[in-house]
Structures are given as C-alpha cells and as structure tokens.
Amino acid sequence: MKILLTLHHHLNSHAGAPGATWQLGQAYKKLGHDVEYYTFDRLPTKLPGMLESIAFPMLAARHISQLVQQQAVDVVDASTGDAWVWAKFLHQSGQRPLLVTRSHGLEQIAHLERLEEVKRGALQLSWKYPLYHGGWRLWEVATSMQRADVSLLLNQRDRAYAIDQMKISPHQAHVVHNGIPESFLNRSLTPLLETEPIRIAQIGSYIARKGIYYGNPALNTILKAHPTVQVSFLGTGCPVEQVLEDFDADVRDRIQVMPRFNHDALPDLLSTHHIKLFPTLSEGFSLALTEAMACGLAPVTTATPGPLEIARDGENAIVVPARDASAIVQALEALITNRSYLEQLRRNAHTTAQTYSWERIAQDNLTIYAAALQSAPNAHPQPSTQ
C-alpha cells in the first residue's frame, strides 16, 4: 500500500504523538509498504505559533489532492483535524484513497478534564482558550472524524464518546493502541535487592493534565515518611526549579529533575527505578506507561481510560481513582513496605509490555485498512498486509 501519514506537529522520533507516528511509519516500511509523512516540517514557509495549526488542514488538503491526481496514495491516515478540509470538500466517502482519521487522545475528552480542573480551582485557562483549543479545534476534530471512512482511537472511552456524541458509526470506529520500540522489548529484569533504595519515576510533561496537583502532594508525603525513597521527574519540559518549588525543602535533595532526555536513553535512565507513578487525568494510550512497564517498573496509575487499556489492578499495576492524593499515598506505601508484592507487579508489568511491539500494532492497523478498502464500492484487490 501507499500510505500517507499526516500530523499537526513537527516530526520527532523522541516525542509523544510525533514519535508514535514516526514509529508506525517505520513499522509499515519494514512490512513492505510505501510511507510518506506530511507534518509541519513539510510546510512551504515557516509560520509563527498558532498559524501553523490553523493553516495545516488547508495545506494538507492541497498535498493530498496532488497525490490523488498522481495516483500515488491508497490510504490517507491523518491525525484528528488534519484532513477536514480535504474530507469536507474533496473526498467522496467510499472512494480511494481511503481516509482514516487517527486520534492520539481525543481532544474532546481532554477538554472536559480541563474544565473539571477549572471547576475545582486547580487550573486557570487563558481567555484565548475558547477561541481555538476549546472551540474551533474541537469542531475540526469532530468534522474530520465524521467525514472519515475509518476512525482510529486509542481507548474504549474515546471510541464510545465518538459513537455517542459525534455520531460516528460503530463499524467505522476502531480501537488501536500505541507500540513501543524494539529497544525496549525483551530487556532483562533486574531483581530489587533487599537493601536497595526504592526509586519512583514520573515521566512526561509537568502539566496539570498529567495529574501533578495530586501526585505531588502524595510524593511529598511519601518522601517525608521514607527517608531512603528517591523520585525522578523525566521529560518535564520545564526548569528544575519549577518542580522542586512544589516540594518541601527537606526532601528536595532526593528529587531528580531532567527537563529533557533522548528517548533512546530512557531504558538506561529507568534501569535503577522500580515504580512508575502515573497520576494522569486524561490520556489516549500512554507511551511512557507501556515503556516503563517494559523496563520493569510497577505502575501506580489512575483509573483513566488510557491506562486502563493495559493496567490491571493487583495484577500488573495498582490502579487508583483520579484526583485522589491519599489513594496514591496508600498505593505507594503498599509497594514500598512490601517488596515481594512490588516484585510481583514488576514482573507482571514487564511481561504484559512485551506484546506491544510496533510491528504487531502496525499489522493491526493494516488489517483495518485492508478491510475498509475491500468493502468500499470501488474496491480493487489489495496487496497482502503481511
């Protein structure tokens, strides 16, 4: 197949949705398919800030049209909002190329969680928020999904919302997960020594959506109660001082903050850690969670839709209610004070993560593509997805 992957970001193999898009495209190539990326890096001129996002659907429509005229694309796999212009004005449903809209975490769900944080007084939104991210952007996302032949979502709640609120056909809405790079798979699991200090890792941006207003008080309590426990914040994207200021002065010497890191180095960074704290409020399907599990960390995660796709309470993780600092404290205490239980969850988490190779995830996606192409009115025999 000839596959176009679009994404309203700069392509970056080390970051979130850009990294997932890059990895998926590489897996398609290994399976013998032709892949092209269309991202902010391909824009004809450098545009300032928000203008990139606003202009991208129009520029993507022009590029897709050129590929269609050249008969150089079978599948347009566009992240939410990217292809709404082409879908609304140029694409005829059921005809080639197949139009797939891919969510990297449904924006409508994240929007609802932001509003809940505002209601609780934990977050203040800019006056600009309703103009784009809380308004126009949500319309772009909904339109792109409603006009697509296939919608791909990362968890069951996102799919249910798309069906119930956006009126997407259940037959067109599919759940597909993210994978993890080969370098994270089949790594040996080093047992925790009896005298070894327990280390907790929190990976990702230091923002409200990641649950820092609930995870931080819990970590502060744990650090004060257990003088040997250590905590690492990796990939915060903010200054070290911003994180440390949120903790009591007498525990800051046991907190490591790394604003940025090379993604390839993450397994080594996690090699001395044992618990992955993930107090997120909204998530599609977390790369960081699965990667940490593959590195042998036992997750303490919130009962939010993304983590629940992989985390099983008492089996490979401890799952706590969202926005509940005391529940996080109890979960961390259960692991810190019971090393055999911690080791059991570490082993099970490690085993679970081994099934999330990008090659398998790519095959799942290709199967959906092929079925949709085959059922289209103008379908032609498709090449094997193997």
Are the C-beta atoms of residues 37 and 22 closer than 8 Å to each other?
yes
Q: What mean pLDDT, rounded, does the chain reach?
A: 93
Per-residue model confidence as pLDDT tens digits over 77-111: 999 999 999 999 988 766 779 999 999 999 999 99
Q: Domain residue spans in the chain?
A: 2-179+357-375, 182-353
Q: What homologous superfamily is domain 182-353 in, according to CATH?
A: Glycogen Phosphorylase B; (3.40.50.2000)
Contacts of 78 (CB under 8 A, 6+ apart): 4, 5, 6, 60, 99, 100, 101, 102, 144
The yes-or-no answer to whether 2-179+357-375 and 182-353 have a common fold is yes
Q: Nearest-CA neighbor of 81 among 119, 112, 109, 107?
A: 107
Has residue 192 got a pLDDT over 60?
A: yes
Per-residue model confidence as pLDDT tens digits over 30-61: 999 999 999 999 988 777 777 888 999 999 99
Per-residue model confidence as pLDDT tens digits over 302-328: 999 999 999 999 999 999 999 999 999
C-alpha–C-alpha distance, residues 180 and 349, integer Å: 14
> Could you tell me the pLDDT band of residue 380, with boundaries at 50, 70 and 90?
very low
C-alpha–C-alpha distance, residues 320 and 11, integer Å: 34
Q: What homologous superfamily is domain 2-179+357-375 in, according to CATH?
A: Glycogen Phosphorylase B; (3.40.50.2000)
Does the pTM exceed 0.85?
yes
- Three-class DSSP category at 87: helix
Q: Tell me what the mean pLDDT of segment 263-289 comes to.
A: 94
